[in-house]
Amino acid sequence: MNGLTNRDLEFIEKVHRLPEERRAILEQIVDAYLSRAARADRELTQEAGRLSESVLKEIWDNPEDAVYDRL
């Protein structure tokens, strides 16, 4: 089994019925969407890291663990 649902197959069939130039436009739209989504995911991950730095600093920077900083 290829993992595609009936809905996936119906969409693929609709795309195949489009003229080639329309498929090319649709592909550009999908590529742009995926690029923006990936960028948004990256930005969200980076922001979450920045926001957690102050909390994690309290955990990482403590006298008990200072010995590990010198390794």
| pLDDT tens for each residue of 6-60 | 999 999 999 999 999 999 999 999 999 999 999 999 999 999 999 998 888 877 7
Q: How many domains does the chain have?
A: 1
**Beta-carbon contacts of residue 26 (< 8 Å; ≥ 6 apart):** 15, 18
Residue 1: pLDDT above 60?
Answer: no
Residue 55 in any domain: the answer is yes
Give pLDDT, residue 55: 83
Residue 63 lies in a domain: yes
Q: Give domain status of residue 33, yes or no.
A: yes
DSSP 65: G
* Phi, psi for 62 (deg, rounded to 5): -145, 155
Is the CB of residue 15 less than 8 Å from the CB of residue 26? yes
For 56, which DSSP code?
A: H
pTM for this prediction? 0.59
* Assigned token pair, 43: 């930005």
Structural domain including 31 reads 6-69
